[in-house]
Amino acid sequence: MRITVVRGDITTQQVDAVVNAANERMRGGGGVDGAIHAAGGPAILEDCIARFPNGLRTGEAGLTTAGDLPARWVIHVVGPNLNAGNTDRSKLTSCYSGALAVADELGARSVAFPLVSAGVYGWPLDDAVAAAVDTLEETPTQVEEARMVAFGDRAYVVLERRISAL
């Protein structure tokens, strides 16, 4: 699998699936979650309600339609909220390996990922990047491209440095 990095908006990525950094309720929220729900339209929320009436637990992954997004699917993952005391790094890495497993079930060949938990959930940027890139590199998958989408300059620089060292 090829791991790439771009600076930009995950909602505009021309890929088979985009990964959403969701919350446990699966009803939309802020950050990446809010942007995906806003750009994808009401079909994403309707599918979340139908497929996840009780939400998802931290570290889990599940899929919905992508609604109006250019991608075909949204793979929702729930990262650990460090600011709420969830320090279990394995929950963070399971977001990436779980998303790849869902992508493989779907036959997705290109997947765009945000840096899960690195925003409002407070995970330190350097470790969020290490967890993402190492897990993507080590997880067996049929996905051909895992595209890391950095929203800010600092995240882009840290991702670029880590990926270029592979």
What's the pLDDT band for 134 if we cut at 50, 70, 90? very high
Q: What is the pLDDT of residue 66?
A: 98
Which residue in the block uniquely carries the two structure tokens 């051909």? 144
33 given a catalytic annotation:
yes
Q: What is the pLDDT of residue 48?
A: 98
Nearest to 19 by CA among 58, 69, 76, 63: 76
pLDDT in tens, 59-116: 999 999 999 999 999 999 999 999 999 999 999 999 999 999 999 999 999 999 999 9
Nearest to 49 by CA among 30, 27, 71: 27
Q: What is the pLDDT of residue 38?
A: 98
For residue 64, give both structure tokens.
């919905």
Q: Which residues contact 53 (CB under 8 A, 6 or more apart)?
A: none
For residue 35, give both structure tokens.
């942007």
For the question of whether the overall pTM of this predicted structure is more than 0.95, the answer is yes
Q: How far apart are CA 137 and CA 49, in angstroms?
A: 32
Q: What is the pLDDT of residue 97?
A: 98
pLDDT in tens, 7-51: 999 999 999 999 999 999 999 999 999 999 999 999 999 999 999
Domains of the chain: 2-164 (3.40.220.10)
Q: Single out the catalytic residue among 33, 47, 68, 134.
A: 33
